[in-house]
C-alpha cells in the first residue's frame, strides 16, 4: 500500500505520520507538497496535524484552497481512504468532506495530554482491528479541537454510525464527546487525537497502531 502525507506550510506532524507508516506498518509513504495537483498512484491519503498557514483566519481555512485539495476531494469521492488528523480533521470539515466544524476548546486554551477514547464503530476500514467499545489511550494536542454540529447533523451522525471515536470524558466541550467521525461512505475519517503519536509503548501508548493496521488489512482484503 502506498501512502501520501500531504504537507502544508505549518504542518508539524507530517514526519510523525511518515514514521507511523514506514516503521509502524512497513509500507511505502511519501511526503507530498500542497502545491501538487496529482495524487496518482497512492492508495491512501493522509492529512497531518499542525498549524497549516499558521491557523490564520481559522484552522484549515487557507489550506482548504491549496492546489492539492481538488485532488483530495476527487479521490475521496472515488472511495479512496482519506485520514485527517487534528489540523487534517479541521481541513476535511472546511472542504466539506466531513460535516460540522472545529472551534476553540471550552477551556479556551491549548490542551496537550493523553486521553481515553472509546471505539464506537469498529466496522470501518480505519477501525477493523479494534473491538467494539474498546477503550484506548491516544494523545491530543489542540487549541481548536471542540467539535460542533447542529442537532440535525448530530442525529444523522448517530443514525449512520459515523461517530467512530468518543472521548471518555468531556475533554474539550465537543458535542456528544465526539473525537472522530467518518463520512457516510466510511472512507473518510477525521479525528482530533493523534494515533501517529501512539504507535510504540515508549511513547506512552501503542493504541494508535491498529488504526493504520486496519487500513492495511482492508487494502489487502480488497486486492484479494
86 is catalytic: yes
| Residue 192's CATH number | 3.40.50.880
Measured in degrees and rounded to the nearest 5, phi and psi for residue 192 equal -80, -40
Total number of domains constituting the chain: 1
With a cut of 50, say whether residue 224 has pLDDT above it: no
Can you tell me the distance from the alpha carbon of 141 to that of 97, in angstroms, rounded to the nearest whole number? 22
Reported confidence tier of residue 194, pLDDT bands at 50, 70, 90: very high
Reported confidence tier of residue 223, pLDDT bands at 50, 70, 90: very low
Region label for 169, one of left (φ > 0), alpha (ψ between -120 and 50) or beta (otherwise): beta
Per the residue annotation, which of 71, 94, 144, 196 is the catalytic one?
A: 196
Q: What is the pLDDT of residues 96-117, one digit of tens each?
A: 999 999 999 999 999 999 999 9
Burial tier of 155 (Cβ tally within 10 Å: 0-12, 13-18, 19+):
exposed
Q: How far is CA 206 from CA 21, 36, 41, 76, 192, in A?
A: 14, 33, 29, 28, 17
With a cut of 80, say whether residue 72 has pLDDT above it: yes
Region 169-198: what's the mean pLDDT?
98
Contact 43, 1 (CB under 8 A): yes
Using alpha carbons, select from 62, 81, 85 the residue that is nearest to residue 9.
62
Q: Which three-class secondary structure state does DSSP give residue 216?
A: helix
Q: Which three-class secondary structure state does DSSP give residue 99?
A: coil
Q: What is the extent of the structural domain holding 81?
A: 2-223
Contact 5, 29 (CB under 8 A): yes
Question: In this predicted structure, what is the pLDDT of residue 219?
Answer: 72
With a cut of 80, say whether residue 221 has pLDDT above it: no
Q: Where are the alpha helices (DSSP H) in the chain?
A: 14-19, 69-77, 87-94, 151-159, 209-223
Q: Which DSSP letter does residue 107 get?
A: T
Percent share of the chain, pLDDT over 70: 98
Using alpha carbons, select from 60, 92, 59 the residue that is nearest to residue 77.
92
Per the residue annotation, which of 13, 71, 86, 120 is the catalytic one?
A: 86
Region 16-35: what's the mean pLDDT?
97
DSSP 16-37: HHHHIIIIIS--EEEEEETT--
Region 45-53: what's the mean pLDDT?
95
142 is catalytic: no
Per the residue annotation, which of 120, 144, 149, 194 is the catalytic one?
A: 194
With a cut of 70, say whether residue 71 has pLDDT above it: yes
Amino acid at each position: 500500500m502506498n501512502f501520501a502525507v500531504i504537507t502544508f506550510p505549518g504542518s508539524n506532524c507530517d514526519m510523525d505520520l511518515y514514521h507511523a507508516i514506514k516503521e509502524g506498518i512497513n509500507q511505502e509513504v511519501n511526503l507530498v507538497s500542497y502545491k501538487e495537483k496529482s495524487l496518482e498512484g497512492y492508495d491512501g491519503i493522509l492529512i497531518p496535524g499542525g498549524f497549516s498557514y499558521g491557523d490564520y483566519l481559522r484552522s484549515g481555512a487557507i489550506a482548504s484552497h491549496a492546489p492539492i485539495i481538488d485532488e483530495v476531494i476527487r479521490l475521496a469521492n472515488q472511495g479512496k481512504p482519506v485520514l485527517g488528523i487534528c489540523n487534517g480533521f479541521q481541513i476535511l470539515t472546511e472542504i466539506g468532506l466531513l460535516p460540522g466544524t472545529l472551534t476553540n476548546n471550552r477551556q479556551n486554551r491549548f490542551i496537550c495530554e493523553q486521553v481515553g477514547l472509546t471505539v464506537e464503530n469498529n466496522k470501518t476500514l480505519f477501525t477493523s482491528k479494534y473491538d467494539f467499545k474498546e477503550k484506548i489511550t491516544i494523545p491530543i494536542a489542540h487549541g481548536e479541537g471542540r467539535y460542533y454540529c447542529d442537532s440535525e447533523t448530530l442525529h444523522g451522525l448517530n443514525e449512520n454510525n459515523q461517530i467512530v471515536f468518543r472521548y471518555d470524558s468531556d475533554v474539550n466541550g465537543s458535542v456528544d464527546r465526539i473525537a472522530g467521525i467518518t463520512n457516510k461512505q466510511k472512507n473518510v475519517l477525521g479525528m482530533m487525537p493523534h494515533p501517529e503519536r501512539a504507535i510504540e509503548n515508549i511513547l506512552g501508548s501503542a493504541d494508535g497502531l491498529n488504526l493504520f493496521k486496519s487500513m492495511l488489512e482492508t487494502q489487502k482484503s480488497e486486492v484479494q
